[in-house]
Structure 1
Amino acid sequence: MLHEAIGSSRVAEKRHIIHFKTRSAYTRFMAAFEEAGELFPVKSVIRPMKIIHAICCTMKSGFPPLQHPSIRLIEEDIPIRVHAARIRHPQQPVLLRQAGNSIPWGVKQIKAPEAWKETRGSRIRIGVVDTGIDYSHPDLRGRISRGINLLNRSLLPTDDNGHGTHISGTIAASNRSSGILGVAPLAMIHPVKAFDNNGTAYVSDIVMGIDWCVHNRMHIINMSFGMKNRSKSLHDAVRNAHKLGIVIVASSGNEGKQSSIDYPARFSQVISVGATAPNRKIASFSNKGRSIDIYAPGDKIKSTWLQHKYMELSGTSMATSHISGVIALMLTIRPELTPGDIKSLLQKTSNPVTGLKSRSGIRAGEVDAMRALRHLGT
């Protein structure tokens, strides 16, 4: 059935995710698939997604829906984008040369430098599911560990967009002498390249990125991207990672909406992040309201960029990386904290923000690294 549905033509095809009802059904299919080599001369036409007992493949448009006792559901594999940050200086990336500029305003705002007396995030592994990372950037030297390129597994997850490098710098840059410092300058970044040079991926790429993070025992997964449509596949992957104690942090979106945020931030298993500007004011572009769990600086954030440069970007993506850094600091001191513990602690120790309407319900605040650590008994 699948062989006929996939076909040989590349015209008018769509990617789909096929979920099996049980783990054993998935395992049986994969074993049969391996034996059916003559039907599938190119093995890459089917991508296994073990974490959700599913496969991803491209099927001919208009082909009748596959019906089989082992199949639970079939979902279209839809595109997803990094939360498009607005480049303030697209022609001239901001090149920092003086040590006096080494701590960006957002890192100072959340009181990370005061927290460094207690912890700098050592031994915490953070999977950054994004566009990859610039391995040659001096501020990230010693902070990059093993990752994966889901677009081409034979290549390193090298960043050809810039977004992933920017996120990684805010989390863990550690060049005090001539560059910048991130929130957790001793944490380890594991780059998971799921997005292409345009900042676009498919849900299946994200699911496989989460799968990699689970199998490689990440403590935190940073997801600075989003989409409007709910995906059962993405929710299953998030739920499974959450059950295993991995903290998942995601950006809420940049449409300035009062009552709606993007997926995966909207899932209850995720810590959803909104962006603030200076003076703890919610950034005009940030989604806001009761769906936000925590806010962090996201306006005009300077961080690492391609070719040893620095860029100033704005977006809830940038806010999310601040939160991942603070969680790394917390986990160094209390590694037994659950994702639920961390979410409630971040909220309990946050500082009030301005820019929310009173009818929006519970007011999430801006993260405060020092207050969070004090609450842990340090």
Structure 2
Amino acid sequence: MTARNGGLPVSGKGVGVLINDSGVDGTHEDLKFGTHLVQNTLGSTNLNSLSAMLPVTYLEGVPNTDSNSGHGTHCAGTVGGTGARSGGKYEGVAPGASLLGYGSGGALLVLDAMGGFDYALTHQFQYNIRVISNSFGSSGDFDPNDPLNVATKKCYDRGMVVVFAAGNEGPGADTHNPYAIAPWTISVGAGDRNGLLAEFSSRGVRGEQGTFTVDGETWTYKNEPVIVGPGVDVVSTRAIAPVSSLGIQTDAEVLTPAELPFYTHSSGTSMATPHVAGIVALLLEAKPTLNPAQVKELLQKTATNMPGRQSWEVGAGYVNAYAAVDMAFRSATYGSTVNASRSFNSSVDARTTAIPFTINYNPAGRWQPIYLPGRSRYQ
């Protein structure tokens, strides 16, 4: 829904939001290619993702780039679908935003995540790209020198807000998506409609933080989400294919027959992330001069407290779009009750144990492809 301040509507108008995901179905009326979805790029054809020596071969102007999962289409609808197929009922957070899709989905993998950031950097001013929504992740420790973290830092330096899914490996500690730990990104956990933290939402580690230097500047990272957004049974746009529903049982119970072909339910931090990305678009319309650090601080200060939760679980708390837009419009006092500034006695066991191990690898021997849990999975 659009947010208002003193009767003034804010819809994300003029703000470009890039959905770096499996793709977007621009044949859906809520995400109409050419007018609302201003550009749709197929990244799975990009040879440069295989080797830096190969040319950049992504394809622009593809009406539907989401033919393998429907994941990116669902995310795009949450960011800024117009709700055209539901009379506005399932309108996205920022329906006035200019949406862009970079689709590199292959089954359950994002094949060219780096290409999405490269595209944002090289087309930023053509489409006024201010927000990049990323509902995928990995596992392991945060490494500021990881190429993807280097790319997100470049986007940050250019004034783009990078939003990442925290992951779906909860409720245990030390399950946080390492790409979301980068201090220049906004890590998003998932909550339900009652303002409670979803059990599956990934957590960080209590008290874990560190400092490092990039380009002569010292940064401090904390292994915890920044904010929590709605991520349980979220209704959003359904891609034309694959035909199977993301949430078929809930769809049948909640959606009308007229809505079923065009909408579906899904749960995950993948769904919470585009919600927050949409809110960021609202903030940037309300106050275009905000930089990424100010956007992050504003979201944290205006969060709604989640009782009984510590910051390593929920960051500042549950995102509050209306308070955030209000604070962007005018000077207001927020932040005294957010989770990150309060102390709680949590019943969750936050202890972790690191067990070192090695894998013997001989590149000259026979090999078979293996599935690495957490590697660039949708969140």
Paired residues of 1:260 and 1:291 also in contact (CA < 8 A): no
Query: Following the alignment from structure 1 to structure 2, what is the Cα–Cα distance between the partners of residues 210 and 355?
Result: 37
- Please report how far the alpha carbon of residue 377 of structure 1 lies from its aligned counterpart in structure 2 after TM superposition: 2.8
The equivalent of 1:226 in structure 2 is 137
Query: Following the alignment from structure 2 to structure 1, what is the Cα–Cα distance between the partners of residues 109 and 122?
Result: 24
RMSD across aligned C-alpha pairs, in angstroms? 2.1
- Is the counterpart of residue 131 in structure 1 residue 22 in structure 2? yes
Deviations 1:182-225 (A, max 9, x none): 000110110001222x13134xx211210101111111000000
Paired residues of 2:11 and 2:96 also in contact (CA < 8 A): yes
Query: Following the alignment from structure 1 to structure 2, what is the Cα–Cα distance between the partners of residues 287 and 361?
Result: 8
Q: Which amino acid aligns with 1:211?
A: D
Paired residues of 1:301 and 1:313 also in contact (CA < 8 A): yes
Q: What pairs up with 1:48-87 in 2 under 5 angstroms? A: none
Residue segments in structure 2 that go unaligned for 5+ positions in a row = 46-57, 205-222, 241-260, 331-379
Deviations 1:8-40 (A, max 9, x none): xxxxxxxxxxxxxxxxxxxxxxxxxxxxxxxxx
The equivalent of 1:376 in structure 2 is 328
- Please report how far the alpha carbon of residue 178 of structure 1 lies from its aligned counterpart in structure 2 after TM superposition: 6.1
Deviations 1:56-79 (A, max 9, x none): xxxxxxxxxxxxxxxxxxxxxxxx
Query: Following the alignment from structure 2 to structure 1, what is the Cα–Cα distance between the partners of residues 316 and 137?
Result: 20
Residue segments in structure 1 that go unaligned for 5+ positions in a row = 1-106
The equivalent of 2:253 in structure 1 is none
The equivalent of 2:358 in structure 1 is none
Match of 2:110 among 201, 226, 240: 201
The equivalent of 2:81 in structure 1 is 173
Query: Following the alignment from structure 1 to structure 2, what is the Cα–Cα distance between the partners of residues 360 and 128?
Result: 27
Query: Following the alignment from structure 1 to structure 2, what is the Cα–Cα distance between the partners of residues 362 and 127?
Result: 25
Query: Following the alignment from structure 1 to structure 2, what is the Cα–Cα distance between the partners of residues 362 and 129?
Result: 24
Query: Following the alignment from structure 1 to structure 2, what is the Cα–Cα distance between the partners of residues 139 and 128?
Result: 15
Deviations 1:135-157 (A, max 9, x none): 11111223201132111234725
Q: Which amino acid aligns with 2:180?
A: A
- Is the counterpart of residue 214 in structure 1 residue 126 in structure 2? no
Query: Following the alignment from structure 1 to structure 2, what is the Cα–Cα distance between the partners of residues 267 and 339?
Result: 13
Query: Following the alignment from structure 1 to structure 2, what is the Cα–Cα distance between the partners of residues 344 and 371?
Result: 13
- Please report how far the alpha carbon of residue 364 of structure 1 lies from its aligned counterpart in structure 2 after TM superposition: 1.5
Deviations 1:221-271 (A, max 9, x none): 000000014561111111111111110000000011334411311111110
Q: Which amino acid aligns with 2:39?
A: R
Query: Following the alignment from structure 2 to structure 1, what is the Cα–Cα distance between the partners of residues 28 and 313?
Result: 43
Match of 1:302 among 235, 245, 249: 235
- Please report how far the alpha carbon of residue 123 of structure 1 lies from its aligned counterpart in structure 2 after TM superposition: 0.6
Structure 1 residues 359 and 129 mapped into 2: Cα distance closer, same or farther (>3 Å)? closer
Query: Following the alignment from structure 1 to structure 2, what is the Cα–Cα distance between the partners of residues 254 and 277?
Result: 14
Q: Which amino acid aligns with 1:175?
A: G
Structure 1 residues 375 and 311 mapped into 2: Cα distance closer, same or farther (>3 Å)? same
Query: Following the alignment from structure 1 to structure 2, what is the Cα–Cα distance between the partners of residues 195 and 288?
Result: 26
Paired residues of 2:10 and 2:286 also in contact (CA < 8 A): yes
Paired residues of 1:259 and 1:288 also in contact (CA < 8 A): yes
Q: What pairs up with 1:266-305 in 2 under 5 angstroms? A: 266-289=181-204, 291-305=224-238
Q: Which amino acid aligns with 2:108?
A: G
The equivalent of 2:180 in structure 1 is 265
Match of 1:367 among 319, 326, 336: 319
Query: Following the alignment from structure 2 to structure 1, what is the Cα–Cα distance between the partners of residues 238 and 199?
Result: 24
- Is the counterpart of residue 150 in structure 1 residue 65 in structure 2? no
- Is the counterpart of residue 312 in structure 1 residue 262 in structure 2? no
Q: State the secondary structure of the residue aligned to 2:18.
A: strand
Structure 1 residues 359 and 262 mapped into 2: Cα distance closer, same or farther (>3 Å)? closer
Query: Following the alignment from structure 2 to structure 1, what is the Cα–Cα distance between the partners of residues 311 and 90?
Result: 39
The equivalent of 1:92 in structure 2 is none
Query: Following the alignment from structure 2 to structure 1, what is the Cα–Cα distance between the partners of residues 25 and 325?
Result: 31
Structure 1 residues 241 and 178 mapped into 2: Cα distance closer, same or farther (>3 Å)? closer
Q: State the secondary structure of the residue aligned to 1:211.
A: helix
Query: Following the alignment from structure 1 to structure 2, what is the Cα–Cα distance between the partners of residues 332 and 309?
Result: 28
Structure 1 residues 200 and 350 mapped into 2: Cα distance closer, same or farther (>3 Å)? same
Paired residues of 2:162 and 2:185 also in contact (CA < 8 A): yes
Query: Following the alignment from structure 1 to structure 2, what is the Cα–Cα distance between the partners of residues 304 and 189?
Result: 14
Q: TM-score, normalised by structure 1?
A: 0.66
The equivalent of 2:10 in structure 1 is 119
The equivalent of 2:299 in structure 1 is 346
Number of residue pairs the alignment of both structures matches: 264
Q: State the secondary structure of the residue aligned to 1:228.
A: coil
